[in-house]
Structure 1
Amino acid sequence: MDVSTFVLLSHEQALRRQMDITANNIANTNTVGFKREQALFHEYVEDLKQAPIEDARKASFVLDFGAIHDARQGHFQATGNPLDVMIEGPGYLNVESADGSTAYTRAGFVKILENGDLATSGGQRLLDENGRGITIPPDQMRNVTIAQDGSVMAGDNPVGRLAVTSFADENMLDVRGDGMLTGTGGQLMAAAQTKLRTGGVEASNVEPIVETTNMVDILRAYQTSQRMTEDMADMRQQAIGRLGRIN
């Protein structure tokens, strides 16, 4: 294959990656706390010194550089559960992973486990500012409220404050696949910086119409690249045929 074929192939691989990300966004339209992703590509220019003419010595390839998160906040989605929370502004709830490490989520479904621990809908313990779980006394499980600053009250008594961590660069967070993210370098937000809204959760910020339009554009771009590949193959066949007749 010549260089032009490799260039088109790199473009088609990038489009395929972009299609996968767009399809994943659409699949998570109804996933609470989900942040849409966008493919990030870099240009790689290779100097082909063996090219016969100057204009052909620079070949521009497309490199997949990963995906970035769209940090825009989703709209409030009421659930009827007074313990459910939505973080207004930046930050993530701190959650205890199965291996004891800390994961992060924007999905604010909150429930009380049988042992009194506050947990996510999946049963992972929610953590306080000291990295410990928040336990509700057995006789106060029906009298739990969560304040705007994350303070958890059991009746008239405070039992802890939900930890909310912010990240200077959210693109350094890794998606774990279960609504959780992992990352380092986060900073715990003070009570004055934290703003929680109870009685609902944050909906996905995916806009289905936008993603569907993107999918159509990606498909058209891929088809155009395929036609260019076929046209170049035809040109090579014609050139070989002409050279054969000359000889």
Structure 2
Amino acid sequence: MDVSSYVLLSHEQALRRRLDVAANNMANISTVGFKREQPVFHDYVERSDTAITEDAKTTAFVLDYGATHDASAGAFQATGNPLDVMIDGPGYLSVEAPGGATAYTRAGLIQVLPSGDLATVGGQRLLGEGGKPINIPQQDAGNLSIATDGTVSGTTGPLGRLAVTVFPSEAGVTPRGDGLMAASGGRELTAAETKVRSGGVEGSNVQPISETADMVEILRAYQASQQMTQSMADLRRKAIDQLGKVG
């Protein structure tokens, strides 16, 4: 296989990666708090001084460098549940992930566990200020409210405050694969800095029309790459036929 075939192969692998990410975005259109992802590619440039022409001395390959997520907010979706919240601005809710680690989410579907702890709809305990769970007394379980600063209150008064954590760069916030995000170096917002809306959740920020257009563009690029591969194969075949006739 010659260099041109390797270049086309790296390009097609990049297109497949783009298609996988776009398909995952489409699959999560209705996922609460989901952030659209976008793959990141870098050029790997290789130089050969033995090439016949100057233009052929530099070869660029496509390298998959990972994926970033779009941190823009999704639309507010009313649920009628006073425990459901949407973070109005940057930041993530802190939750206790399996194994005891701290993970983060924008999905504000909240429930009260039988133990009395506030948790996500997936059962992960929500963490309040200082990384401590928020426990709800049984007599308050049916009479809860969440203020704009994240303070959870019952009939007996404030019971705790939801921790909203921000990070210096969204590039360091990465999906764990279980619907939660992993990150480090975050800072808990104070009550004055925190702003949440109760009674609803944040919808996915995926735009179906944009993703569909992207998938069509990927398909056309892949078809063009395949046509180029076929053209190069035809040229090689013709060259071999001509060389066979020499002499």
Counterpart amino acid of residue 246 in structure 2? I
Which residue does the alignment assign to 1:139? 139
Residue 232 (str. 1) matches residue 232 (str. 2): yes
Match of 2:10 in 1: 10
Matched with 1:191 is 191
Q: Which residue of 2 aligns with 1:175?
A: 175
Name the structure 2 match of 1:42. 42
Match for 2:239: what amino acid?
Answer: A
Q: Which amino acid is the alignment partner of residue 80 of structure 1?
A: G
Q: What TM-score, normalized to structure 2?
A: 0.98
- Tell me, what secondary structure is at the counterpart of 2:149? coil
Q: CA deviation at 1:14?
A: 0.3
The range that moved more, 214-223 or 162-171, is: 162-171
Which structure 2 residues correspond to residues 88-237 of structure 1 after superposition, within 5 A?
Answer: 88-237=88-237
Distance in structure 1 (CA, Å) of the matches to 2:147 and 2:155: 12
Cα distance, 1:174 vs structure 2: 2.0
Shift of 1:177: 2.4
Is 2:80 the counterpart of 1:77?
no
Deviates more, 1:217-226 or 1:44-53: 44-53
Asked if the contact 2:15–2:222 (Cα under 8 Å) also holds between the matched residues in 1, the reply is yes
Contact 1:107 1:179 in 2 (8 A): no
User: 1:52 maps to what in 2?
Assistant: 52
Root-mean-square deviation (Å): 0.9
Give the partner amino acid of 1:241.
D
| 1:245 equivalent in structure 2 | 245
Please tell me the residue identity of whatever aligns with 1:244: G
Aligned-pair CA distance for 1:8: 0.7
SS state of the match for residue 130, structure 2? coil
Q: Gaps (5+ residues) in structure 2?
A: none
Q: Residue type matched to 2:25 in 1?
A: N
Q: 2: distance between equivalents of 1:137 and 1:92?
A: 25
1:100 and 1:131 map into 2 onto residues whose CA distance is: 11
Distance 2:77 2:210 in 1: 21
The residue type equivalent to 2:64 in the other structure is D
Residue 50 of structure 1: how far off its partner (Å): 1.8
AA of the residue aligned to 1:66: G
Aligned residues: 247
Question: Identity across aligned pairs (percent)?
Answer: 60
Q: Which moved more, 1:112-121 or 1:87-96?
A: 112-121
Find the residue that maps to 1:25 and give its secondary structure.
helix
Distance 2:137 2:40 in 1: 48
CA deviations on 1:210-235 (whole Å, 9 max, x unpaired) are 10110010000000001001100100
Q: What TM-score results when the alignment is normalised by the length of structure 1?
A: 0.98
1:141-197 C-alpha deviation (Å, 9 max, x unpaired)? 122111100111112411111000011211212212232111111111111111100
Cα distance between partner residues in 2 of 1:187 and 1:174:
16
Matched residue type, 1:150: G
- Residue type at the aligned position of 1:29: I
Deviates more, 1:27-36 or 1:173-182: 173-182
